[in-house]
Amino acid sequence: MTGVVVVGSQWGDEGKGKIVDWLSSQADVVIRFQGGNNAGHTLVIDGETYKLNILPSGILRSDKISIIGNGVVLDLHALKKEIDAISARGVSITPENLYISDRATLILPLHKNLDELRENNNILKIGTTKRGIGPAYEDKVGRRALRLCDIFEKASLQKKVKILLNHHNAIMRGFGAKEYNEQTVTDEIFEIGRFAKQFSRPINEISNVINQNKKKILFEGAQGFLLDIDHGTYPFVTSSNVHASYASIGSGLNPQLINHVLAITKAYTTRVGNGPFPTEQDNEIGQKLGEIGKEFGTVTKRKRRCGWFDTVLVRQALIQSGVTGIALTKIDVLDHFEEIKICVGYKLNGKEIDYFPSSEVDQNNIIPIYETFKGWQSNTTGIKELEKLPQGAQDYISLISKLTKTKIDLVSTSPKREDTILINKIFN
């Protein structure tokens, strides 16, 4: 049995969707193990573009089993809308190829309302997508959340809703906002639960399916390591653990199933929302990277902040996540640059450091140290063999491997599924 975990090594938007979709052709099961519908994946298949927010990327292959794990926070209304939209395009989504862990925590309309109230009123602007992700995780940790398994029996559901509203209505009073009606909330949740019940699976059933015939498993993460609630640029982070080790916790499966950790790494750096970004280019270079790379959020359509590759951040993410290989994406975006800069270290208070500090104050005061690399200014789009890349591009790939101390397993040369250079085998 082989388990491959795919994680982002930067602030998300590294191109995980395409890589997971490409790898899913070799897998039997694809599991989404954390996050919510605040993270999206864009996939281009046979000229068709698909934008997924919560469904695992393997869902576009009807012969695979796609699983939404217990580590995910799930907006059932958003899920139904996404399933309806994808199904309308001819993709088969049934209880036979989509499982949802019955332990997944639910995002409710009240979570989205609270998220928006905070973003509009709080002094600290995190830059969330206002989709209720953070408040849902808060309720999970506070032990008052509703899980999928809680919503199929109405009397029991109503008792849990009463506990939940005891907390949320107090917050609404604090904002001077309208309180929630217990019966209305219960009825709405119960109704959408009728739709979700067909996909609900207990962990033992999921485990049994995984263990049959020594399945190949692909664990799919959302966002990127630098948004991890513990190890990211706190407080400008997401509300879950993006760390590769969370694949086991967020799926409920044995960690011994994991054999390989693949880090999706963009050939430059982008970030959505607020927070520190040492190599950001708030200038013509950043604008050029964004325009060529089409750097707009899959979910929010927000323009991404763009900058040069940051070796320090990526290397730190790879070491902490136990990464065994890199999938380097968007190398083709750099085709158009005469020179390319790479951050190889920082200066903090006049001293050189080779790590990203924990303190928000220090993070905002670090100065990147750059090395300049001569651009290849030749087209790499669609190339499928490493030796056919321009020598400059090959040298850049080798340099990233050397600086991050991690081997490059594959290189993506366009958003298309087939434009992928496999260097090292991923699944055993």
Which residues are tagged catalytic?
A: 13, 41
- Helices 391-404, 311-321: crossing angle, 10 deg rounding: 60
List of E strands, 103-199 = 105-106
Q: What's the sign of the alpha-carbon dihedral 38, 42, 43, 48?
A: positive
Report the C-alpha gap between 400 and 406 in whole angstroms: 8
Residue type at 251? Answer: S
Which residues, other chains included, contact 86 with Cβ-Cβ below 8 Å and sequence gap of 6+? 50, 52, 55, 59, 60, 93
Structure tokens at 340: 């390319």
The distance from CA 340 to its chain's CA centroid, rounded to whole angstroms, is 27
Q: Comparing C-alpha atoms, which of 132, 182, 115, 126 is closest to residue 154?
A: 182
Report the C-alpha gap between 41 and 312 in whole angstroms: 26
Query: Length of the chain in residues, anyone?
Result: 428
Report the C-alpha gap between 149 and 133 in whole angstroms: 19
Structure tokens at 418: 């087939």
The distance from CA 197 to its chain's CA centroid, rounded to whole angstroms, is 25
Q: Comparing C-alpha atoms, which of 94, 89, 22, 33 is closest to residue 58?
A: 22
List of E strands, 254-365 = 260-266, 269-271, 305-307, 309-310, 325-329, 339-348, 351-353
Cβ density class 406-424: b for 16+ within 10 Å, e for less: bebbbbbbbbbbebbbebe
Determine which helix (DSSP H) or strand (DSSP E) holds 118, and give its type and residue range. Answer: helix 109-121
Residue with the two structure tokens 């359509």: 301
